[in-house]
Amino acid sequence: MREIIFDTETTGLDAREDRIIEFGGVELVNRFPTGRTFHHYFNPQGRPVHPDALAVHGISDADLVGKPTFAELAGELSGFIDGAMLVAHNAGFDIGFLDAEFARIGQPRIDPARVIDTLAIARRKHPMGPNSLDALCRRYGIDNSHRTRHGALLDSELLAEVYIELIGGKQAAFSLEVQVEAVVAAGEVEPGVCAARQREHPLPSRLSPAEIEAHARLVAQIGDAAIWREVDPACRGEAAQ
């Protein structure tokens, strides 16, 4: 399963008028980070950064001069998130801005079924809160001391760790779908494949002779209806006799 943990920074709070000025996302596959990221700043095309937003993320109008527009990188961004579940904290905010930006260039809205809101998960799991990203980092012992201001890529990296904890901790990343294949003819195993091995000598039975004899009498008493005749070769042999 492929997931993109992402965050945006914007010029303000109104997706109808304000613009995305930073996008940061990290890729997880089967709940493990792959090391693949997407991080860019965008020129808001004349929309100034609101002072309240500046106080949160510290990205000024001057910082965005010469940066590409969202439209110029929309194809690259779309390719990065294509086919993945999208995970964000207070996802409605970020998805609302992405939908607005895509709508401006004639691209479809993001399917809500692809969206996972970690804030909603946190509120269900910790109803007494607080459930901000910083609070969740403290709760789960995740080092966020280097987070002095909001930043899309840094927040995504922290959120990825929080998300794993929210859905059950590190063990949630272990897949039960373990590949078990036979050893190839050359005696080697394909990389990443766990080969099934058999013991050279079966473990001795833990049943006593008296228990084995009692079981045999019980099977004989039940007759052909005994389920052990289907799974135990010794019982099948007894029936044949």
**Upstream peptide bond of 130 is cis (omega within 30 degrees of 0):** yes
Q: Identify whether 188 is part of a domain.
A: no
Give Cα 13 distance to the centre of its chain: 28
The answer to whether residues 22 and 125 belong to one domain is: yes
The answer to whether residues 57 and 119 belong to one domain is: yes
Q: Which domain holds residue 216?
A: 204-241
The answer to whether residues 40 and 107 belong to one domain is: yes
Number of domains in the chain: 2
The pLDDT of residue 172 is above 90: no
The answer to whether residues 120 and 235 belong to one domain is: no
**Could you give the residue ranges of the DSSP H alpha helices within 18-151?**
51-57, 70-81, 91-104, 118-125, 133-139
Q: How confident is the model at residue 42 (pLDDT cuts 50, 70, 90)?
A: very high
Is the separation of the CB atoms in 28 and 34 below 8 Å?
Answer: yes
Q: What is the pLDDT of residues 200-225, one digit of tens each?
A: 777 777 778 888 888 888 888 888 77
Of the candidates 57, 126, 150, 201, the residue annotated as catalytic is 150
**Which residue carries 């078990």 as its tokens?**
180
Q: How confident is the model at residue 126 (pLDDT cuts 50, 70, 90)?
A: very high
Active site residue 89: no
Is the separation of the CB atoms in 10 and 97 below 8 Å?
Answer: yes
Once rounded to an integer, what is the mean pLDDT over residues 146-160? 86
DSSP state of 148: S
The answer to whether residues 152 and 108 belong to one domain is: yes
pLDDT attached to residue 209? 85
The answer to whether residues 69 and 134 belong to one domain is: yes
